[in-house]
Structure 1
Amino acid sequence: MVFGFEHKMNFCCLYEKRSSGILFLIEFLLCITVITTPFTTALRRDAVVLLQVKSSQLQDPDGRLSDWKLSAPNSPCSWTAILCDNKTNAVVSIQVPSFGILGNFPSDFCRIQTLRTLDLSDNYLGGTVSSEALSLCSQLNFLNLSSNLFVGNLPELRTAFADLTTFDLSLNNFTGEIHRSYGFQLPKLQVLRLLSNFLNGSIPGFISNLTELTRLEIASNLFSPSPLPADIGRLTKLENLWFPGSNITGVIPESIGNLTSLTNLDLSYNSLTGKIPESLGSLSSVVQIELYGNNLSGEIPDVFANLTSLVNFDASQNNLNGKIPESLTGLALETLNLNDNNLEGAIPQNLALNEKLSLLRLFNNRLSGHLPENLGMNSGLNEFDVSGNFLDGPLPPNLCLKKQLEILILFNNNFSGSIPDSYGECSSLTRVRISNNKLSGVIPPNFWGFSGLDMLEISKNNFEGVIPPTVSNARELTEFLVADNNFNGPVPGEICVLEKLAVVDLSRNQFSGDLPSCMTKLSKLLKLDVQGNHITGQIPTDLTAAWPDLTDLDLSGNQISGTIPSELGGLPVLTYLDLSDNLLTGVIPDNLSKLKLNKFNVSNNRLEGRVPPSFDKGWFVSSLLGNPGLCSPDLKPFPSCNKRRATSMILVGILSGLSAILVISLLWLVIKSRKLNLFRSKSKRSWKMTSFQRLWFNQDDILAFLNKDNLIATGGSGQVYRAVLKNGQIVAVKRLWEANRGPESEEVFYSEVETLGRIRHDCIVKLLFSCSGADFRVLVYEFVENGSLGDVLHGEKGGVLLDWPRRFKIAMGAAQGLAYLHHDCVPAIIHRDVKSNNILLDEEFRPKVADFGLAKSLLKDMEEGSEMSKVAGSYGYIAPEYGYTMKITEKSDVYSFGVVLLELITGKRPVDPYFGESKDIVKWVTEVASSIPEQGGANESVGICDEFLDQIIDPRMKPSTSEMQEIKVVLNVALQCVSSLPLSRPSMRRVVELLKDKSRTRSK
């Protein structure tokens, strides 16, 4: 330009003063032309740059940028996502968040020298971001590339970004270490977000150089174990320090107390040790402190008095001891989480003065004494959980005064007295668990019938009285657990309107009268237990359609009369049936043979007639005793069903003698060939056998195959044999390692029996039969023709499974099986050893999840604690958090399944010498991604580029172009599953949804 803008305006003003009439008009138009022509040229140049980038580096499938046209008035300042300076009309901002655009990093946007803001977040941009391309953007104030599909090493900053205040690369697939340039080339940086990538290396100490930072968020990466920088306190302007799940070790530095501007401190899910530093008491601005899921020890320092802004404090799941400091409970906290520690002493009384407290979790400690009497009087409590302590005394009468309490959990304490009448007005309650205390008296009538209540667990107390009709108002109730009390009177018919009931446990009370016949309307019932009462009447007959999901039925220890309905045999999933200690008469229906029962007991009744052949086995004797009218052809001690004639006796004697000789001869031959050495010391009477399907064989047919000629696999829990039965059926027989090798064998056996015995899913292997003795444990499964996925991928059968459609079919089926375990089983089941060797393939390559030796229900996790005494899982499949928490969740299965997906894509084992020393498949895939150079061109695939796939994909597959797109989808799912932070992993139900959506050509 010849003139600056102000000089041009002055020039025009002079013409205005000197001219008049037509001469003035001509001169004024000339003036305007002189002024606007350079700006028009600049804007047109910027518009050309924008259009070139759009056409060569981006795709806009949703047409969000369709108004980018030179012909548009005032272009490009009128275009969508473009912001110009009000005074100069220069382009200063490009913001396209969540526009659905595809392509590579559009670095040419930064050739617009006036550009200060570039927001490309939440799109489908991929490929690498090279240091050279990033250097073009050094003039920016704001750069946001988050929530895209970028891969490769985190780019180096080769030039100073002198004015950059916000730099957000989070939620991508960047790898490598954080380069030293980040500590020296960003002098004005206020926001640095690198979270949820695949960054490795240690947390760098030079982060402390960024003294202008207000937000530092680099969590959820693959950092190696490393401490927080000792001089982290230099970041005095820091407001948000967000490091959950960052593999941080060592102690919390004392210098953290210098972060006086800090509002959020999150160091959760790490491996921090040592004490909570007293300098925490200097964080005068802090609003939230999250320290849960570490290994912190010692006492909580009594230094919180000045933290008047603190709203949320969570130091749960550590090893803290001592008392709860009064300076902490005296604050106006909204949430206080100190559960799963070793805290002791009384709960401070000043907690009751808090007017803000809504959530209090103190469960699983060693707290004692009474609850503060005035708890709830001043604050609207929403969740209150003090279970698993040594607390005693009465319940606070005002706990629900504000009518906001939804969750009340007090189980496993020593509370006494009655439930206060005021609790009968607590209509906000949705979950009540107060079992295993010393509470007594009559429960307020309205307490039974809150409209939003979904769980009522009041077992193992001394409550009395009747269940009132008000229970009919609890229409959301799914679990009704009142066992081990002194309730009396009839079971109210009003319970029949609670259509969502799944579990009803009325056992060990004083209930009397008939069971309401309308209970057959409870179509979602899974478990009904009324044992140990005074129930009379008969068992309902119309059951088959009424209870299609019933697995457990226990009516034992009552005065129930009449016959056993044959309709019980039509319950499709019933596995537990106990009718013992009643007044039942008639015969045992043959129809019960259809059931696959883990537990069957009809002892101590008045049954008569012949024992059905399916129950005429030695291991059922104890379940049949106490019925003098029962008979059996040869089952002792029951009398024979036929009158014996003298000739028959002689014949039987002769046959018995011959049989004895034959048996002795056979035993001698078998022992000589070592085929039955496991029975040398024990007789059949010590065996325990259970069948889960209708079978055409017995234990003798199976045990003959337990020799080396039929051995097909050996694993950590036992050996697997192939058995061909007389009718041609092929089964797989798993003999677990002998009990004298340690208690684990018995644990594994009963885990598999308990788990598989109640599972019904096409993608989970069927357990047919179990047999156990003092020295052996045997499980019989359906035989799966093609062996395991591990065998097919990595063994001699490696040439069989080459094409992608088969691999995807296996991925989908295995995901559905695991989703069933996690989401459809009640309680949910964690497999804990998901791997390719535990996914079996039938003749059509349909997968079946197998080997439940380490399986554990989430219910047991809650009851027993989730820490493991032995390694759960297999090397290469174990989620990283297990190494420092020793805790297993369903997200651990998700991680292992992600590794299986990587196996299917790459054809490589989880741990392979090909990867290099100390590397597994997850680390190898991320490192390959980091080695891909920047891709260019308008047609380059986004997210996961073809060059990346070419380096990792199994060369035996040779996928088509469309299959390559499917593989990209599955690879993205795999990368989500193997996220280092459990919270970032999808649920297995979500994994199934993502895999079903394989037709998409891109995936986030």
Structure 2
Amino acid sequence: MHSFLFLFSLFLFTPTLTLSLNQEGLYLYQFKLTLSDPDSTLSTWSLHSSNPCNSNWFGITCDPTNSTITSLDLSSSNLRGQFQPSLLCRLPNLTSVTLFNNSIDQTLPSSISICQTLTRLDLSQNLITGSIPQTLSELPNLTYLDLTGNNFSGSIPFSFGMFQKLETLSLVYNLLEGSIPYSLGNVTTLRMLNLSFNPFSPARVPSSLGKLTNLEVLWLSQCNLVGPIPEEFGNLKSLVVLDLSMNGLDGKIPSSITGLTRLWQVELFNNSLSGELPVGMENLTALRLFDASMNRLSGRIPDELTRLPLESLNLYENSFEGELPESLADSPNLYELRLFGNRLSGKLPENLGKNAPLRLIDVSNNQFSGEIPASLCDRGELEEILIIYNSFSGGIPASLGACQSLMRVRLGYNKFSGEVPAGFWALPRVYLLELVDNEFNGSIARTIGGAVNLSLLILSKNNFSGWIPEEIGWLEHLEEFSGGDNMFNGSLPDSIVNLRQLGTLDLHNNKLSGELPKGIKSLKKLNELNLANNDIGGNIPNDFGSLLQLNFLDLSNNKFSGRVPLGLQSLKLNELNLSYNQLSGEIPPMLAKDMYKASFVGNPGLCGDLKGLCDGKNEDKKASGFVWLLRSLFIVATLVFVVGVVWFYFKYRNFKNGKGGIDKSKWTLMSFHKLGFGEDEILNCLDEDNVIGSGSSGKVYKVVLSSGEAVAVKKIWGGAKTETGSGDVEKGRIQDNAFDAEVETLGKIRHKNIVKLWCCCTTRDCKLLVYEYMPNGSLGDLLHSSKGGLLDWPTRFKIAVDAAEGLSYLHHDCVPPIVHRDVKSNNILLDGDFGARVADFGVAKVVESNGKGTKSMSIIAGSCGYIAPEYAYTLRVNEKSDIYSFGVVILELVTGRKPVDPEFGEKDLVTWACSTLDQKGVDHVLDSRLDSCFKEEICRVLNIGLMCTSPLPINRPAMRRVVKMLQEVGIENQAKSSKKDGKLSPYYYDDGSDHGSVA
């Protein structure tokens, strides 16, 4: 009937058109009309054709014997709309439908069951929502089903246990809940089962999966699995890949697994498995990759394991002890060895690396001793050597100085000594060279100019000496040079001003002399300069004022002379120390504040409006003016006395009336942590010089305590007084509510990513909240200021993860859950290491425990550009509102743009990002200040932000899921190089079909 109406309408409205398209072509053309095709991918699908099989229609495959359509593949075609199988399934011989990587949305109709001829259905990487239809199991010939990377919710249908021929089932990266159905054990035809990265409810691994004797790949990573690994898994004799990583599994690794002789890859990392590795692992004769890291395994690493043809052995962060088996050096295929974070001791096997193409060795945080084996790079493929926090001794083998493949070297925190080989300084691919906290001596060789890829040079706490060579200025990629606590002498090389990427220069506690090189203003990215405790002299260049990213400057305990440069006033310094030099003259006015007083002590020639400076300057007055001076002092003293009496009278009167200044006796202190200070210390520092911010409810002060620790104090004035106007009463009520919400929320929660509330102080008409001080301020202020370039992508990504973990704690770990209601970049504060804390809980609300999960508000709380659309018109608040706001923060981090901007017109950041992606592509969305080498990772985080800002709350992932997705981006980014180098990735499995991708 539908096709008849379609044909009738064509004849009715296009009478001159002669239709020659056959019936199959008409079905496909109707299917085309249900989709949006902005790229005109389906332009070849024309009514003027006669037969799609003879007209080169895009994406179709036909049976050559009868010219009927058998396959439809429209992968990565940017198609949108709803998938309507009722049209396609009228093609009598259609066996395969692939719509991978499009924007198909809405729900998947249950009418899919009419596609009785289908053997393959791939709808992965789309935007399909709703439940997975139970009717899918009614397709009698289906062998391949891939729904990866959509927004399916609900449970896996129990009816999936009724598939008759299914060989591949992939539901990775969805929003599936419930538990893995026991019935899947009935689908004995399965060769691949991939259910990873879904927010299932905590549940055990179904033992019925042990009946899937044809199974080759079992991927259940991050499925919220708990309890032991079933012994029944020993029945999976065909298993090649077993991945149970990132769950809550406990107990021992079952010994039955050692009978799976076809196992090629075993991933058990990040669980709570305990005990020793099972006896009999030598039976796993095909095993190449074994990762049981981040568990609670113990005992010794058995010889049997090292005799397997292993390529990658990852057992880090467990409790293994004893020495490594010498046989480890005989493993012929070993390219990756990660054993850090255990209790291993003794020496590394003498011939390690001699017989295997070793690329990475990480044995950090153990108790190893002895020397580095000289054979580590004998095969010329070693890329990373990480052995920090051990007790290695001796020198660096000369053979490593010829290891041209090395890229990452961390030898810190050991007992190494002697000189570093000249060739080791010059390795051309090394980007990280860390030798910190050893006993190395000698100088930096001039050959360092050959280390053209070096980004991080960390030599602190050694016995290095001699001049820093001019060749260091050749390292155009150098971002950090930390060489403090050594014995370097001579002047800084003039070439150091050529290091345009340099962000940190730390050479404190050396014997450097001379003057600072000219042209220091070229170091535009310099963020930290620490030259304290040297013998450097000359003037401090006024050019420092042009280094807008500089926020740490310590030139103390040197021989600098002349004036303090006026240009320093233009910087926003978190740390300034010019003490104990030979500076003179007036301190620049904007630096002549008590908060900087310690920065200038020990400079007898300095003058400024600071107590303790300029003392004794009048000792050289002539004797003829002495009498005049006495008269002047007497007159001034008299005036001061009179003024003082008047001032005291009014202060005393105000005090009696209760309307005076701060009366310390009236304050009540409530602490939430063990304090090392009292309210007096706080009250004494609440002056305008210490104001670091202000808002509608009051001001924020930075208070430096006598211990040297800093805290932030929010002062809230104006409780609701009876004599004020009604507007003031309402304002006071709101401020009181904000104070109560802040105390109620922060006073009872503890999390590393929630700002810490030390205490609160209250009096009749003033309230103080004392927080931990965050030296880098708020994310919003930093990201959207001239210092936004300071936040590179790794830093932004860390901030996103930290903030997500804080919000996840509020939503999922607090009982009852807490909704922040004002998530924004200005309420994400940054510590000295750019760690993020969620702050400002003045409008936070507890979620009702009545099962509804929402609460109606009388007014809209939140900030423009961050408010979820449904919140704005329903005033119903739940966790999904916070998730939308956090998605906006992600978009800020990715785009570098504010949530609202005149450039957007009437749009906000979310609308602008979506429309720009559609019209111009992703390159016009990403912040141009970010390094393009991170583009793939940035795009994945952008996708998470877009998911969080979905107009439909049901499509937004829970914060716990957001955290896991972000963590997975980080994990995959770190593991990307090793996966490319031969490790079988769970994202790809070659099943002999056209599309092996399952994610």
TM-score (norm 1): 0.71
Aligned to 1:907: 871
Aligned match for 1:164, one of 135, 142, 153:
142
CA distance, structure 1, for counterparts of residue 790 and residue 91 of structure 2: 52
- 1:762 aligned partner, one-letter code: H
Q: CA deviation at 1:261?
A: 0.7
Aligned to 2:662: 675
CA distance, structure 1, for counterparts of residue 353 and residue 222 of structure 2: 34
Q: CA deviation at 1:431?
A: 1.4
Aligned to 1:792: none
Question: Is 2:381 the counterpart of 1:395?
Answer: no
The answer (yes or no) to whether the contact 2:270–2:294 under 8 Å persists in 1 is: yes
Q: CA deviation at 1:708?
A: 3.5
The answer (yes or no) to whether the contact 1:619–1:685 under 8 Å persists in 2 is: no
Aligned to 2:105: 126
Aligned to 1:930: none
Q: Describe the superposition over 1:172-222 as per-residue Cα deviations: whole angstroms up to 9, x where unpaired.
A: 2222212221112x1221111122222221111111111110001122223
Aligned to 1:273: 250
Question: Is 2:416 the counterpart of 1:439?
Answer: yes
CA distance, structure 1, for counterparts of residue 686 and residue 568 of structure 2: 22
Corresponding pairs, count: 805
Aligned match for 1:496, one of 449, 473, 483:
473
Any idea what SS the aligned residue of 2:537 has?
coil
- Say if 1:838 and 1:666 are closer, same or farther in 2 by CA, change over 3 A: farther
Aligned match for 1:547, one of 497, 502, 523:
523
Aligned to 2:11: none
CA distance, structure 1, for counterparts of residue 317 and residue 873 of structure 2: 37
Any idea what SS the aligned residue of 2:827 has?
coil
Aligned to 1:646: 630
Q: CA deviation at 1:468?
A: 1.0
Aligned to 1:714: 739
- Say if 1:376 and 1:875 are closer, same or farther in 2 by CA, change over 3 A: farther
- Say if 1:250 and 1:655 are closer, same or farther in 2 by CA, change over 3 A: farther
Question: Is 2:270 the counterpart of 1:297?
Answer: no
Aligned to 2:118: 140
CA distance, structure 1, for counterparts of residue 262 and residue 875 of structure 2: 47
Residue pairs, 1:520-531, within 5 angstroms = 520-531=497-508
Q: Identity over the aligned pairs, expressed in percent?
A: 32
Q: Describe the superposition over 1:835-885 as per-residue Cα deviations: whole angstroms up to 9, x where unpaired.
A: 999898xxxxxx972234576847x79xxxx9x9xx9x99999xxxxxxxx
Aligned to 2:486: 509
Question: Is 2:545 the counterpart of 1:581?
Answer: no
Q: Which of the two has higher C-alpha Rg? A: 1
- 1:707 aligned partner, one-letter code: W
CA distance, structure 2, for counterparts of residue 618 and residue 68 of structure 1: 79
Question: Is 2:87 the counterpart of 1:108?
Answer: yes
Any idea what SS the aligned residue of 1:459 has?
coil
The answer (yes or no) to whether the contact 1:512–1:535 under 8 Å persists in 2 is: yes
The answer (yes or no) to whether the contact 2:25–2:51 under 8 Å persists in 1 is: no
Residue pairs, 1:600-679, within 5 angstroms = 600-632=576-608, 635-636=611-612, 639-642=615-618, 645-651=629-635, 653-654=637-638, 657=641, 669=654, 672-673=658-659, 675=662, 677=664
Any idea what SS the aligned residue of 1:336 has?
strand
The answer (yes or no) to whether the contact 1:692–1:757 under 8 Å persists in 2 is: no
Residue pairs, 1:750-769, within 5 angstroms = 750=773, 752-756=774-778, 760-762=782-784
The answer (yes or no) to whether the contact 1:245–1:981 under 8 Å persists in 2 is: no
Q: Describe the superposition over 1:686-725 as per-residue Cα deviations: whole angstroms up to 9, x where unpaired.
A: 899878899x99989x9996534474843876799xxxxx
CA distance, structure 2, for counterparts of residue 719 and residue 740 of structure 1: 14
CA distance, structure 2, for counterparts of residue 610 and residue 48 of structure 1: 87
Which has the larger displacement, 87-96 or 311-320?
A: 87-96
Uncovered stretches (5+) of structure 2, i.e. residues with no partner: 1-20, 622-628, 668-677, 704-711, 720-731, 746-754, 763-767, 811-817, 848-862, 886-905, 919-944, 971-998
Q: Describe the superposition over 1:554-609 as per-residue Cα deviations: whole angstroms up to 9, x where unpaired.
A: 11111112222233233223222211222222333344333322222222223334
Aligned match for 2:192, one of 215, 221, 225:
215
Question: Is 2:240 the counterpart of 1:263?
Answer: yes
CA distance, structure 2, for counterparts of residue 715 and residue 336 of structure 1: 53
- Say if 1:123 and 1:600 are closer, same or farther in 2 by CA, change over 3 A: closer
Q: CA deviation at 1:983?
A: 6.7
- 1:646 aligned partner, one-letter code: L
The answer (yes or no) to whether the contact 2:22–2:51 under 8 Å persists in 1 is: no
Question: Is 2:266 the counterpart of 1:245?
Answer: no
Q: CA deviation at 1:440?
A: 0.5
Any idea what SS the aligned residue of 2:116 has?
coil
CA distance, structure 2, for counterparts of residue 420 and residue 84 of structure 1: 64
Aligned match for 1:738, one of 759, 762, 781:
759
Q: Describe the superposition over 1:289-315 as per-residue Cα deviations: whole angstroms up to 9, x where unpaired.
A: 111122222223233111111111112
The answer (yes or no) to whether the contact 2:22–2:50 under 8 Å persists in 1 is: no
Q: CA deviation at 1:978?
A: 3.3
Q: Describe the superposition over 1:729-779 as per-residue Cα deviations: whole angstroms up to 9, x where unpaired.
A: xxxxx99543899xxx999523x1245599733279x9xxxxxxxxxxxxx
CA distance, structure 1, for counterparts of residue 120 and residue 465 of structure 2: 71
Q: CA deviation at 1:482?
A: 0.9
The answer (yes or no) to whether the contact 1:719–1:736 under 8 Å persists in 2 is: no
Aligned to 1:749: 772
- 2:536 aligned partner, one-letter code: I
- Say if 1:158 and 1:97 are closer, same or farther in 2 by CA, change over 3 A: closer
Question: Is 2:60 the counterpart of 1:96?
Answer: no
Q: Describe the superposition over 1:55-85 as per-residue Cα deviations: whole angstroms up to 9, x where unpaired.
A: 5668585244615667547956965544444
CA distance, structure 2, for counterparts of residue 141 and residue 680 of structure 1: 74
Question: Is 2:524 the counterpart of 1:560?
Answer: no
Which has the larger displacement, 383-392 or 151-160?
A: 151-160
Question: Is 2:361 the counterpart of 1:384?
Answer: yes
- Say if 1:290 and 1:747 are closer, same or farther in 2 by CA, change over 3 A: farther
Structure with larger RCO (C-alpha < 8 A, sep 6+): 1
CA distance, structure 1, for counterparts of residue 136 and residue 383 of structure 2: 55
Any idea what SS the aligned residue of 2:279 has?
coil
Any idea what SS the aligned residue of 2:454 has?
coil
Any idea what SS the aligned residue of 1:472 has?
helix
Aligned to 2:726: none
Which has the larger displacement, 650-659 or 302-311?
A: 650-659
The answer (yes or no) to whether the contact 1:416–1:437 under 8 Å persists in 2 is: yes
Q: Describe the superposition over 1:973-995 as per-residue Cα deviations: whole angstroms up to 9, x where unpaired.
A: 64698383757559999xxxxxx
Any idea what SS the aligned residue of 1:539 has?
coil
Aligned to 2:133: 155
- 1:366 aligned partner, one-letter code: R
TM-score (norm 2): 0.71
CA RMSD of aligned residues (A): 4.7
CA distance, structure 1, for counterparts of residue 356 and residue 496 of structure 2: 41
The answer (yes or no) to whether the contact 1:221–1:981 under 8 Å persists in 2 is: no
Q: CA deviation at 1:491?
A: 0.8
Aligned to 1:476: 453
CA distance, structure 2, for counterparts of residue 704 and residue 180 of structure 1: 55
CA distance, structure 2, for counterparts of residue 158 and residue 829 of structure 1: 37
The answer (yes or no) to whether the contact 2:361–2:384 under 8 Å persists in 1 is: yes
- Say if 1:921 and 1:325 are closer, same or farther in 2 by CA, change over 3 A: farther
- Say if 1:150 and 1:827 are closer, same or farther in 2 by CA, change over 3 A: closer
